[in-house]
A and B are shown apart, each in its own frame.
Chain A
């Protein structure tokens, strides 16, 4: 069973369609990467997948439960970093992670150990007692990632998780994601960094102008060239559906 399943998802802001008939699934034990240009619909899709907005069409299921019916038992198994890291500037790093752990349903007797563990994993120990307001952007992102991971979720939804991370942070995140999926978690990540995607993703889905336009082989020879070819083909098809049909028939 998919940890996350999206079927026929459609959404629009005012009159502007932003998601069109999107189907997507994320299995336990896999990293599913979502790539596309800015404004392609990646973040909107992730928000809809997490119940942050109610799509006009389609359905989302988390661990087989309709997202609108998801209760604490479902959400305890979900970790996410969408938009802005979970960081309150007046709290220390440790306090932020304590708050994230509690809100994500970690039993109070286990919170301290969970926080210690994730601080070690994200190499935040030297800054654990510092107020978050004093952190660099990259370290705020680390705290946000730690907040998403502190409760050992079975489904991770991360929107541009490498934002602001330095190379060591990117390598650290890569290792954590791979460890998580090896332990059976499912991960949906969006990214602009095709080389990073190629290193970690099991599946790569291309979203363009709100629609899924195809999948790429993450281990293919030239992911960037394949990505642009797919996007340009989608643009040509949108401009001239009849011409594309003819091309397809010729092929």
Chain B
């Protein structure tokens, strides 16, 4: 493994931020979705039960996975975005970036290694979250999922992977803004804009909404989104990555 990858992998392995984010992304969305389903199936007339019933597209696996799609669309972007923002922003906030200058390992190679490793981590976490969600559903008595539920699970897996990619441009905000706060600010803007785009009917075009709208599908009242439009996601991820790497190559010490 090249020095940049080896060092960045070590930093990610030792990071408590990454550990907490991993646990949160793998466990919390599934637990929340299961809790929502339990509330919806209870059929009570209290606000929480009514809200859960209104949000979920059905009961059983359909409601559970449909709820999980909605939750992970935001949680994935937020959770991965926080780690991406930390990974880049900490170098500026802690001033360790200065030590990365005047080194035999170019800074753009370090930035590339961070982005590749974060993408791999986000993909692994997303797929693990789907697997854990499936096991939780089985363990809590949802029975055997049917073919339609398995198709939803497949779409959920794609969404989980794409949500991680959508967080990569946060690296550019952390780098140009030289710290955590610009990353957090940029991340919140992305989350809010994704919600606004979906509400405004532009969710089928706005890259940070497309995977969720596609994954929820017409069954949840969303417009039909051609699968090809998912290519918007790697496009914005690549644009963010290229911008970040270029910044790391050319930026002076601040």
A residues sitting closer than 8 Å to B (CB atoms) are 47, 50-54, 72-73, 75-76, 78, 80-91, 95, 98-100, 102-105, 144, 147, 157
Chain B interface main SS type:
helix
Binds A, one of B10-18, B143-151, B226-234: B10-18
Q: Which of A80, A95, A102 has the most CB of B within 10 A?
A: A102
Interchain residue pairs A-B with the least CB separation, the first 10:
A105-B104, A84-B95, A86-B99, A50-B102, A102-B3, A52-B253, A53-B252, A72-B104, A90-B14, A103-B105
- Which of B103, B105, B253 has the largest number of chain A CB atoms within 10 A? B103
Name which residue of chain A comes closest to B91, CB basis.
A88
Contact A104:B16 (CB < 8 A) given known A53-B252, A82-B98: no
* A189, chain B: closest CB distance, angstroms: 15
Cβ–Cβ contact A95 & B104, under 8 A: no
How many pairs, one residue from A and one from B, have CB atoms within 8 Å of each other in the complex?
79
Q: Are the C-beta atoms of B95 and A83 separated by less than 8 Å? A: yes
> Contact: A91 with B3, CB < 8 Å?
no
Q: List 5 A-B contacts (CB under 8 A).
A: A52-B253, A53-B252, A75-B103, A76-B104, A103-B7
* Chain B residue at minimum C-beta to C-beta distance from A74: B104
A104 to B103, Cβ gap below 8 A?
Answer: yes
Cross-chain contact A86 with B96 (CB below 8 angstroms): yes
Taking a contact as CB atoms closer than 8 A, the residue among B11, B98, B101, B253 that contacts A88 in the complex is B11
The residues of B that contact A98 with a CB separation of less than 8 Å are: 10
> Which residue of chain B has its CB nearest to the CB of A81?
B99
CA distance A88 to B12 in the complex (A): 11
- Residues of chain B with a CB closer than 8 A to A147's CB: 99
B87-123 interface with A by 8 A CB criterion: 94-96, 98-106, 110
By the criterion CB–CB under 8 Å, are B104 and A83 in contact?
no
Contact flag A103-B3 (CB < 8 Å), given A53-B253, A76-B104: yes
Contacts A76-B104, A104-B103; A84 near B96 (Cβ below 8 A): yes
In the complex, the chain B residue whose C-beta lies closest to that of A151 is B104
Contact A52 B104 (CB under 8 A): no
Give the distance in Å from the alpha carbon of A91 to the alpha carbon of B7 in the complex.
10
How distant is A137 from chain B, measured CB to nearest CB, in Å? Answer: 14
Assembly CA distance A225 to B96 (angstroms): 37
Is there contact, CB below 8 Å, between A105 and B101? no
Which range holds the interface residue count of chain B? 20 to 34
- How many Å from the CB of B252 to the closest CB on chain A? 4
Cβ B252 vs Cβ A104 within 8 A: no
Give Cα A201 to B99, complex, Å.
Answer: 24
Q: A103 to B109, alpha carbons, bound, how many Å?
A: 11
Partner of B105, one of A47, A73, A105: A105
Contact of A84 among B3, B99, B106 (CB under 8 A): B99
User: In the bound complex, do residue A52 and residue B103 qualify as a contact, i.e. CB atoms below 8 Å apart?
Assistant: no
Indicate with 1 or 0, residue by residue over B212-243, a CB within 8 angstroms of chain A CB atoms. 00000000000000000000000000000000
Q: How far is the CB of B179 from chain A (nearest CB, A)?
A: 14
Q: With an 8 A cutoff between CB atoms, is B20 at the interface?
A: no
**A52 and B102 in contact, given A84-B96, A86-B96 (Cβ under 8 angstroms):** yes
Which residue from chain A places its CB closest to the CB of B100 in the assembled complex? Answer: A103
Known A-B contacts: A84-B99, A86-B99, A103-B100. Give 12 more (CB < 8 A).
A52-B98, A53-B253, A72-B105, A72-B106, A80-B99, A81-B99, A83-B98, A88-B96, A91-B11, A99-B7, A147-B99, A157-B102
Instruction: Specify the chain B residue showing the minimal Cβ separation from A148.
Output: B99
Cα–Cα, bound, A105→B106 (Å):
11
Contact A54 B252 (CB under 8 A): yes
Known: A84-B99, A90-B16, A105-B104. A47 touches B4 (CB 8 A): no
Verify if B32 is at the interface (C-beta below 8 Å from A): no
Q: Is the CB of A80 within 8 A of B96?
A: no
